[in-house]
Amino acid sequence: MKSHFSLLVRFFLAWLLTFLVGKLAFFVHNGWPGFADALQIYWHGLPLDIAVAAYLTAPLWLVLTCATLLGKPRFTPGGRTAYRVYSATVGILILATLIVDTILYEKWGFKLDAVCLSYLDNPSGITDSLGWGYFLLAVAGFLLLIWGYVWVLWRIGPRPDGHSTRRSCFPTSHPVQRTLHFLGLLLVGALLFLGIRGGVGRSTANVGMVYYSTDQYHNHAAVNPIFSFFYSLLKERDFSQQARYFSPDEANQVFASLNYNTKSELTPADSLLNTRRPNILLILMESCGGRVVGCTEGNTKVTPHLDSLAREGVFFSHCYANSFRTDRGTICTFSGYPSFPDASVMKMPAKSRVLPSIAGALRGVGYDTEFLYGGDKNFTNMNSYFLATGYNRVLGDVDFPVSMRKTSPWGVCDHLMFDQLRQNIDRQPKNKPWFKTLLTLSSHEPWTVPYKRLDDPMLNAFAYLDASLGKFMDQLRRSPEWKNTLVIILPDHGVSWPADINEFDTRKYHIPLIWTGGAVRNAREVARLCNQTDLAATLLGQLGIDHTRFKFSRDVMSQTYTYPCAIHTWPEGYTFIDSTGTSIYELATHRVSRLTPDPKGERVHKVKAFMQKAYDHMNALK
């Protein structure tokens, strides 16, 4: 009985030790971070190391469990051979991955992932990066290492009965002991499952969960390259054949007609702010679409504070969300990047990490940047995206007291998060401007909130968000920070209210976009049609900060904004809105729903060209 558990423990710990030594080799080759930082890297990277070790141990556990059920506890010669083949094969692959990752990181600057497969059809791309001498030396070193490594794996494995009976069989075949042994193996299986999953939190194991530093080298060193490779392999898709509607030249021509010009040419009348370097607070509201907000012709009873802020500040009254989920809407908002029906860029760290972002642009001109979220910051790789694209600090539920973490089904409820935001602003050093972001979470299924004003649970959850926001804004208005602060408020996506509203109704993704605060020059309504993605270029344009990297974001206040339009995507189609009306293209049936006449099909042509260009751009990200 003990032999099986001992073998599983030895096998599991062997992999953990392998990854520890692998990180040490990574440091030696790519740069020693310092003893304290090395310990931090080991600690933060441990969840992914455990996940991979559990994955590798799981097949051995399965074999031992099946053998127990069949009443065959002993390792036969064939069983020992199978163990040796498995351990040698996996050992070679693991060691090769660790070595390749260590060597290539110096040349490429990112962890091993599925991108490297694109070079297999042209190996010279790798050898040119390394040099042939370096490459051959690495191969020779690898062969020597693998010989020793496989020998170690075989030594910790099952022995022939003549060497040690206790290490190869039960001490007895009694049914009670066999049952206890089987139950013990089930417990081990449960622990392996938790290791593979990454714990008991809402998010499963992902690359972003080990990101902890503003130094990307430290984050990359913490990432297990085996996990990174296979995770990206599962997420990686070739989008080069997606949305193939036109020849490249024709797609370019139609896309050019949309005039996605990123230049900002502002007249004094186009200026929305009274300062070029305000403190900036961006509040991204969970699901709070226009259908529940009075100022966007929604329900006038739900959000009195938001409606008041819209009247007092700059209200973009014809703004539309690009997508339907938080992970997609977040990318749209902060990176000015389009959404896709069948892909979440945030879930592909190899792509999301190279996107431009508002935080990165602001940090580049001296802003301190901070992101707050009351939920699991590793959900959908959120943490890695924000740290990679410019945030100095990313705070999630684990950064708050335990008593706060379960005040909402999703984490810390909104009124407590606004209180925490207020405290963070009060503690903020005064010697540099700051950019803070809060993503709310209480206005989400199951709509459970510590507040009661409306009978409808969904509407009551939005009323709670509004009340929490209103209280916070009243406090901020009375503070010294108000005079030099710009507050931007918008949702991550729309909401299905009433319940029968769907993506074919543009009211679902009509969203409020509000700029308020003491840094706003005066109250006004901006009635120009625009998208959530346009926030990035519009904000940076007002601050005089270059935004040419934001290829799909437009400065709505610029004189170059000559073709207002909005695009929305969801798994079943695209929506395109311009001054002539609305067209919806269904992907499954290729049917076009024209909510307003479009005799020549120009709107559909334009949205197809846009999506073709967007897929091309996304496919090239690496």
Q: Which SS3 state, helix, strand or coil, does residue 309 take?
A: helix
Sign of the dihedral through C-alpha 93, 95, 96, 100: positive
> What are the C-alpha distances in Å from 304 to residues 184, 320, 468, 494, 508?
58, 21, 12, 18, 20
CATH 3.40.720.10 residue spans of the chain: 259-562
pLDDT of residue 171: 44
Q: Which SS3 state, helix, strand or coil, does residue 211 take?
A: coil
- Rounded to whole angstroms, the Cα distance separating 99 from 95 reads 6
State pTM to two decimals: 0.78
pLDDT of residue 125: 44
pLDDT of residue 338: 98
pLDDT of residue 167: 41
pLDDT of residue 208: 81
Phi/psi-derived region of residue 92, left when phi > 0, alpha when psi is between -120 and 50, beta in every other case? alpha
* Per-residue pLDDT tens over the stretch 220-238: 899 999 998 888 777 667 7
What's the count of helices (H) and strands (E) in the chain, helices before strands? 19, 13
Distance of CA 568 to the CA centre of its chain: 20
Tell me which residues of the chain have a pLDDT lower than 70: 1-3, 71-76, 107-108, 114-149, 151, 154, 156-178, 235-236
Is residue 550 within 8 A of residue 536, CB to CB? The reply is: yes
- Rounded to whole angstroms, the Cα distance separating 202 from 218 reads 25
Closest CA to 310 of 512, 538, 533, 532: 512
Is residue 486 within 8 A of residue 476, CB to CB? The reply is: no
Q: What are phi and psi of 279, to 5 degrees?
A: -70, 145
Closest CA to 581 of 506, 508, 503: 506
- Rounded to whole angstroms, the Cα distance separating 445 from 22 reads 43
- The CATH class, in words, for 259-562 is alpha beta
* Per-residue pLDDT tens over the stretch 585-595: 988 778 888 77
Q: What are phi and psi of 443, to 5 degrees?
A: -85, 65
Residue 546 has a CB neighbour count (10 Å cut-off) of 14
Q: Which SS3 state, helix, strand or coil, does residue 113 take?
A: coil
pLDDT of residue 2: 55
Contacts of range 430-433, beta carbons closer than 8 Å, 24 or more positions apart: 432/366, 432/367, 432/368, 433/277, 433/278, 433/279, 433/280, 433/362, 433/366, 433/367, 433/368
* Per-residue pLDDT tens over the stretch 312-350: 999 999 999 999 999 999 999 999 999 998 889 998 888
Secondary structure element (H or E) that encloses residue 487, with its range: strand 485-491
What's the angle, vertex CA 565, arms to CA 564 and CA 568, rounded to 5? 155
